[in-house]
Amino acid sequence: MPQVPLAPFALTLAYRRGADGGARPYLILDVQGPAGATRVDGVVDSGADISSLPYEYAAALGYQPADLEESTGTQASGTITYHRAAAPLVAWLPAAQMWAFALHPSFVEGAEMALWGRADFFRAWHVSISEPSQQFRIVRQ
Amino acid sequence: MSVQEAKRIQHEAEVREDLTPHAGRWVALRDGHVVASGDELTELRANPEVQDDDVLVRVPRAPGGYFF
């Protein structure tokens, strides 16, 4: 039986204030790990090669130390230590679970904010950001 | 699937109170307001006050300023 293609899903959102009071292109995703799902607020970040979450999410999502590979990366201020999960998370926009996608998280020591990066989020979603209008648009098709 | 519902959820996550008193801690936000807090994320998730659709965030130790 042929599958009926999904209609494109598009959402335009205003920047909103996060935990530090700054307005940015924040986006909530529901992420499903080995221990269950949790709701994560992150910044849509075209400058991030990969998506990352504060290290504490690794345990909360059910990853064991053996599930993670320690590595080093580079951020604007220097070198960081991160832990890359071999098994991806499943992530989706709340109320749009049919558009779920694989998120390959890296858990970063000392990080205080989740970043949705290019290797997974931007591959799944078309993203445009308008700084003058303080809005961003994501489209899945 | 509902674009309007998806948009509502994102919009209602706007932080609507000063989180400075929680700097360095994890908070559960519902409709932009703190409903629970904890030193550890796992501790906060286990708090009976916290619902599955609350947004859990770590409040930066030094709120404000630019994010680089």
Residue A136 has pLDDT above 70, yes or no: yes
Residues 20-59 of B with CB under 8 A from A: 26-27, 40-42, 45, 52-59
Interface contact A131, partner B, CB < 8 A: no
- Residues B33-43 have a mean pLDDT of 94
Residues of B in contact with A14 (CB under 8 A): 11
Distance of CA A23 to the CA centre of its chain: 17
- Residues B61-68 have a mean pLDDT of 67
pLDDT tens digit sequence for A12-29: 999 998 888 889 999 999
Closest CA to A32 of A10, A63, A9: A63
User: β-strands A78-85, A16-17: how paired?
Assistant: unpaired
Per-residue burial over A86-114, b if 16 or more Cβ lie within 10 Å, else e, is eeebebbbbbbeebbbebbbbbbeebbbb
Rounded-to-integer distance, Cα A96 and Cα A118, Å = 20
At residue A105, the pLDDT reads 87
At residue B61, the pLDDT reads 83
At residue B1, the pLDDT reads 59
- Does A20 contact B19 at a Cβ distance shorter than 8 Å? yes
At residue B63, the pLDDT reads 59
* DSSP E strands, A45-113: 52-54, 68-75, 78-85, 89-93, 96-103, 106-108
* A100 to chain B: closest CA residue: B1
Distance of CA A27 to the CA centre of its chain: 8
Rounded-to-integer distance, Cα B25 and Cα B37, Å = 7
- Does A13 contact B7 at a Cβ distance shorter than 8 Å? yes
- Residue A48 tokens, joined: 């991030």
Closest CA to B13 of B29, B37, B35: B29
Q: What is the helix (H) or strand (E) element at residue B12, kind and residue range? A: helix B3-12
What are the two backbone dihedrals, phi and then psi, of residue A60, each rounded to the nearest 5 degrees?
A: -65, -30
Residue A141 has pLDDT above 90, yes or no: no
pTM: 0.90
| ipTM of predicted assembly, 2 dp | 0.88
pLDDT tens digit sequence for A70-120: 888 777 667 888 899 888 999 999 999 999 999 998 999 888 889 999 999
Mutation site, A39, A63, A115, interface B, largest B CB count within 10 A: A39
Q: What is the dihedral of CA A129, A107, B22, A90, to 10 degrees?
A: 60
At residue A77, the pLDDT reads 67
Rounded-to-integer distance, Cα B65 and Cα A19, Å = 12
Answer yes or no: are the C-beta atoms of A83 and A106 closer than 8 Å.
Answer: yes
Higher pLDDT, A43 or B1: A43
